[in-house]
Structure 1
Amino acid sequence: MTTTEAPGRTELAGRAAELVPLIREHAAWQEEHRALHPDVLAAVRDAGLLKMRVPLRYGGFESDVRTVCDVVAELARGDGSVGWTANTQMLSSWLIGLFPDEVQDEVFADPDVFVGSSVSPNGVATPAPGGVVVNGEWAFSTGVLHSGWFAHSALLAEPDGGYAPIVLAIPVADLGVVDDWHTVGMRGTGSVKTVAKDLFVPQARVLPLMPVVLHGAHLSERNADSATWRAPFSPVSAAVAGAVPLGMARAAREVFLERLPGRKITYTDYESQAEAPLTHLQVARATLKVDQAAFHVQRAADRVDGKVRAGEAWSVEERAVARMDMGAATALAKEAVDLLSEASGGSSIYTDRPIQRIARDVRTINLHGVLHPNTNLELYGRVLCGLEPNTHLF
């Protein structure tokens, strides 16, 4: 175990930006094979980007949320699947940092360990001597194909007949994997189903979820003074997840403008699409939406970092705004991509045109249960109207 001086935001975002050409080179392979290309995964690891939410004592960086968002957006600019998988890994490493220190010693014994997670409590854990026995099936297990450990959410059966949400740290070798990730978008994430059957999990690897979600409480003594683990779960995850569609929208704008020179508008007198006023409006509107999405992601990240530095508590409305920022960024990114996709012409439907993959990926991420724009807007509206939030992910 070593302590290192963490690189700053500019350096880490620069490392991620340098990987964009390599990621784009393998994007079609990743979509076809439904997994990250080994060269991409190795490059992300070698750049140190998987260490951003790992404790310093294991050689991690404990980067702030704004830095993580900038890096994730850059990786998603290369390929949305890489950005989403990295987002999941960084959140998962952070979750492991909430567990008792002996669990962290076990997980981070491999300095290059990849950790995945699922926030849907689709398993049921039953108390047993020394721990719990868990059974369940979790769809959308992003990162499991590359992970050594997984943080799965489940419901703990209580003596009064109720259930309490928990997080379980599980070696991936203990989980079954069902290859069911046959989707129209985000195929490179390889988010297959995982299964636990009568799996014993030691008590140290069982983390109560509600104190983590609501208060940022955790079971680690050695991370107690770290700013990285003083923020509650939902605002952190909202900011970083929103960076993924932002990166996709930036990619769509880039690939559209790269193709623009020399393109005509079929069945019109325009010899150059770039001369058409319609194109000017489409590009301007799309760029405005990309900038608006960036505002929401950056505001969400800066609020988390600022409140952590100030040691301030979170109000219910601030938590709702974090979720709204994520939903707004997701919706605006899709609107930008839709504009640019529609402006790309009939030739853009060929599979070697990146814009068609980006359009499918951004539509897919808009359907994600946590990022869904309407779900988050409704939540924000409920709070503004004086009602209680209707979700435990708050």
Structure 2
Amino acid sequence: MTRDAETSVLTDELLQRIRSRAAGYDRDNAFFAEDLDELREAGYLRPRSLLATIRDQRRLGAHAPATALAINMHLVWTGVARILAARGDRSLDWVLAEAEAGELFAFAISEPGNDLVLWDSATRAEPVVGSVTSAGEGGWAFTGTKVFTSLAPAWTRLGVFGRAEEAPGGDWPDGGTGPRLVHGFLTRDTPGWRHLDDWDTLGMRATQSRTTVLEGAVVPPERVSRILPVGPNPDPFVFAVFASFLLSIGSVYAGIADRALELGVEAVQRRTSRRTGLALSQDPDLRWRLADAALALDALRPDLETLAADVDGLVDHGAQWFRRLTGAKHRATETARVVVDHALRVAGGSGYAAGGELARLQRDVLAGIYHPSDPESVRQTVAANLLGPLEP
């Protein structure tokens, strides 16, 4: 069972409590444990439509960006499972059931120096002796290093993937040859993994996105979600990951921009010019700067929400999908950076205080440049859509 698509559990009171803790988490480099408890108790971790999810993630991002970003990783997996189910693929229905039951899902996908992201992996996936059938199905042991594992202190289910060089038993289930990428989920009580206590970053500190070291951690057969060829792949699982991740990430950063603009407006209404004696809200240059920020920000809602509604509604954009999805994430994160910069400029020197909210938003918004797809990858995707692939 899933919650009604339009139901939100984010009350104003809950959001204000979450905002009140954000500065402390950031200052202490602490995990957002109290926020997580309250959000779980409120039912926020349960699966809903992608449109409802990104709307609420934008609201949460405006109140506590790091909390929203970390929770996003769980919501991406429930989004993937919903997207597949809506298209007749029930292979991840167990993710929806376990999320409803209170399990917390996280990502262990990113790897040091791996700019291919989902298209290849430096992590080894090796079949577990004695548990693999002649069809190539079975348990897999993962060995490698994953970075940016948000929710590190609390996840109970961890999505991982790695590269298998050869098919167990000689043949892959699809009849093809060559290496494959094995996707699956670890449970927290599985031996063979550990986190490093290495999360000390400029921003998004409450996510505690620590490095995960896999040392032969085994994913059992029933939790292997996909075995796919190396390289770009049109499999619905890949589409679902991109759609859920990129639109949810973009919405968190749009929320940061919402709050920054709000703080910028408050600042010029509060401050007075010694030169003119007028409120700075009457200064033509500052009015232009805030208007410019608002114009850019206004474009994000229809961009993100239209695409999310199209995913929910099974709209087929064909080869345009990846261009639109990567573009939406890119526009959201880059626009958010511009809006925060405008807000800092109109707020004056007080915005530069390390403990201030605008300064924290400036540090948090910078994380957007590190999430896939990066600007180079986005432009490659769009160019390929327009002009075809690069010639070998």
TM-score (norm 1): 0.81
Match status 1:264 vs 2:272: yes
Partner of 2:125: 125
- For residue 108 of structure 1, the aligned residue among 98, 101, 111 is 98
- The CA deviation at 1:301 is 0.9
Task: Tell me the SS of whatever aligns to 1:181.
Answer: coil
Which of 182, 187, 194 is residue 200 of structure 2 equivalent to?
182
* Cα distance, 1:137–1:328 mapped onto 2, change above 3 Å: same
Task: Return the offset for 1:346.
Answer: 1.0
Q: 1:328: which partner in 2? A: 331
1:380 correspondence with 2:382: yes
1:264-302 per-residue CA deviation (whole Å, 9 max, x = no partner) reads 35x744542112111111111111111112232112212
What is the alpha-carbon distance in structure 2 between the residues aligned to residue 158 and residue 214 of structure 1? Answer: 22
Unaligned stretches of 5+ residues in structure 1? 53-62, 219-230
**Secondary structure, counterpart of 2:150 in structure 1:** coil
How much does 1:366 deviate?
Answer: 2.0
Q: Does 1:205 align with 2:207?
A: no
- 2:45/2:100 contact within 8 Å kept: no
Residue 214 in structure 1 maps to residue 234 in structure 2: yes
Per the TM alignment, residue 244 of structure 1 is displaced from its structure 2 partner at its CA by 1.0
Q: Following superposition of structure 1 onto structure 2, how do residues 300-311 of structure 1 map, counting pairs within 5 Å?
A: 300-306=307-313, 308=314
Where 1:125 maps in the other structure, the secondary structure is strand
Report the 3-state secondary structure (helix = DSSP H, G, I; strand = E; otherwise coil) of the residue aligned with 1:285. Answer: helix
AA aligned opposite 2:103: V
Counterpart residue identity of residue 38, structure 2? A
Structure 1 residue 36: deviation in Å? Answer: 3.6
Partner amino acid, structure 1, of 2:104: F
Kindly state the Cα deviation for residue 42 of structure 1 after the two structures are TM-superposed.
1.5
1:156 pairs with one of 158, 164, 173:
164
Q: Distance in 2 between matches of 1:389 and 1:326?
A: 27
Q: Which residue of 1 aligns with 2:51?
A: 66
- State which drifts further: 143-152 or 155-164: 155-164
Partners of 2:20 and 2:27 lie apart in 1 by 13
Per-residue CA distance 1:55-101 (angstroms, 9 max, x = gap): xxxxxxxx221111101111101111111112111112345677987
Query: Partners of 2:21 and 2:237 in 1: how far apart?
Result: 40
Q: Partner of 1:141 in structure 2?
A: 149
State the one-letter code of the partner of 2:386: L
In the TM superposition, residue 102 of structure 1 has moved relative to its aligned partner by 9.7
How far has the Cα of 1:259 moved from its partner?
Answer: 3.1
- Structure 1 position 194 matched with structure 2 position 184: no
Aligned length: 357
The 5-angstrom pairing of residues 1-394 of structure 1 reads 3=1, 6-9=3-6, 11-12=7-8, 15=10, 17-52=12-47, 63-95=48-80, 104=94, 108=98, 111-120=101-110, 121-129=121-129, 130=131, 131-159=139-167, 162-174=178-190, 175-208=193-226, 210=228, 214-216=234-236, 232-265=240-273, 268-306=275-313, 308=314, 312=316, 314-368=317-371, 370-387=372-389
Paired with 2:166 and 2:326, the residues of 1 have a C-alpha distance of 30
User: Taking structure 1 as reference, are residues 363 and 106 closer, same or farther at Cα in structure 2, changes over 3 Å only?
Assistant: closer
1:260 alignment partner, SS class: helix
Distance change >3 Å, CA 195–CA 251, structure 1 → 2: same
Q: Is the 8 A contact 1:149 1:171 kept in 2?
A: yes
Cα deviation digits, residues 244-271 of structure 1 (max 9, x gap): 1101100111222233333135x74454
Q: Secondary structure at the match of 2:161?
A: strand
Task: Evaluate the alpha carbon distance shift between residue 18 and residue 319 of structure 1 in structure 2; reply closer, same or farther with a 3 A threshold.
Answer: farther
Give the SS at the match of 1:198.
Answer: strand
Please list the CA deviations of residues 324-345 of structure 1 after superposition, one character each: whole Å capped at 9, or x if unmatched. 1111121111111111112221
Distance 1:359-1:128 versus aligned 2 partners, 3 A rule: same
Structure 2 CA distance for partners of 1:68 and 1:17, relative to 1, 3 Å:
farther
1:176 and 1:114 map into 2 onto residues whose CA distance is: 17
Aligned counterparts of 2:108 and 2:66: Cα–Cα separation in 1: 16
Q: Distance in 2 between matches of 1:109 and 1:118?
A: 18
Partner amino acid, structure 2, of 1:289: A
- 2:149 partner SS: coil
* TM-superposition CA deviations, 1:201-248 (whole Å, max 9, x none): 222222225499623259xxxxxxxxxxxx633123221121111011
Cα deviations across residues 370-391 of structure 1 (Å, max 9, x unaligned)?
A: 043343133212211122799x
Flag the 1:110–1:90 CA change in 2: closer, same or farther, 3 A: closer
Cα separation, 1, equivalents of 2:97 and 2:156:
8
Aligned to 1:57: none
Unaligned runs of 5+ in 2: 111-120, 132-138, 171-176
Computed over aligned residues only, the root mean square deviation of the Cα atoms, in angstroms, reads 3.0
